[in-house]
Structure 1
Amino acid sequence: MARPNPELIDALRRTARKLAEGAPYQWGHMGGCNCGNLAQELTKMTRDQIHQYAMQRYGDWNEQVADYCDTSQLPFDVIINQMLGAGLALEDLKHLEKLDDREVLVRLPLERRFLKHNRRDDVVTYLNEWANLLEEKLLAKITLPADLMQVREPVAVNV
């Protein structure tokens, strides 16, 4: 699972919001699919740039992730590197493309757990719930100093 951090959580929510508001979505387009839309947010590359780099090799996101090499400097591997640097893991990219991470899906109501990987509304649902999950994990790691946790007596104010 991804490393929870504010930047990644924000990128997931921005991607979901843009898709909900009608950003170009095409599951068969490497820059406009589930991973492609998130890649746009994390890399600041355009949909067409991402697609162009992907076409220098074969395969969809799952195949390209399987063939990823962190030292290759191939343009698409550089995109994946940036996404990993934002806190994602390779498995997250595979799950995002198929909308099938069990840890995300189990949080949805039973009737909403059967998402279609190529349906815009389902991608928005998945991204938002994934962001919520990561935010909860991030907040769970935060501990306040003991002196802030103590209950203090209210200070009386004379009027």
Structure 2
Amino acid sequence: MARPNLQLIDALRRTARKLKEGAPYQWGHMGGCNCGNLAQELTKLNKDQIHAYAMQRYGDWNEQVDDYCTASLMPIDLVISEMLGAGLMLEDLKHLEKLSDREILKRLPAERRYLKHNLRDDVVLYMTEWANLLEEQLLARIQLPDSVLEPATVTV
């Protein structure tokens, strides 16, 4: 699972909001699909740039992730590297493309757990819940010093 951090949580929420508000979405387009929309937020590249980079090699996001190489100078590998630098793991990208991470899905109401990977509203729900999960994980790691937890003493 992704490393919880503010940048990634914010990018997931911005992506979900933009999709909900009608941002271009096309599951078969490498720059306009689930991963492509998140990549736009994390890299500041547009959908056509991401798609063009991906088309320099074969395959969908799953195949691109399988062929990812940290030493490669392939543009799509640089995009993936930037996404990983934001806290994602390679498996997160595969799960995002298929909306299949069990940890995220089990948080959804039982009647909403069977998401369609190419349905905009399901992508919005998945990204929103993923952001919520990462936020909870981030907050759970924060420990305040004991002095902050003690009630303040007022001197009169």
Map of 2:88 onto structure 1:
88
Classify the secondary structure of the residue corresponding to 2:139: helix
Classify the secondary structure of the residue corresponding to 2:97: helix
**What is the percent sequence identity of the aligned residues?**
75
Q: Write the mapping of 1:1-150 to structure 2, written as runs, cut at 5 A.
A: 1-150=1-150
Taking structure 2 as the reference length, the TM-score comes to 0.98
Equivalent AA in structure 1 for residue 117 of structure 2: H
Classify the secondary structure of the residue corresponding to 2:11: helix
5+ residue gaps in structure 1?
Answer: none
Bigger radius of gyration:
1
Q: In structure 2, how many angstroms separate the alpha carbons of the residues matched to 1:149 and 1:73?
A: 50
Deviation at 1:149, TM superposition (A): 1.1
Q: In structure 2, how many angstroms separate the alpha carbons of the residues matched to 1:37 and 1:150?
A: 45
Number of matched pairs: 156
CA RMSD of aligned residues (A): 1.0
- Can you list the C-alpha shifts for 1:58-103, whole angstroms capped at 9, x where unaligned? 0000000000001101000000000000000000000000000000
Q: In structure 2, how many angstroms separate the alpha carbons of the residues matched to 1:156 and 1:20?
A: 52
Deviation at 1:150, TM superposition (A): 1.4
5+ residue gaps in structure 2?
Answer: none
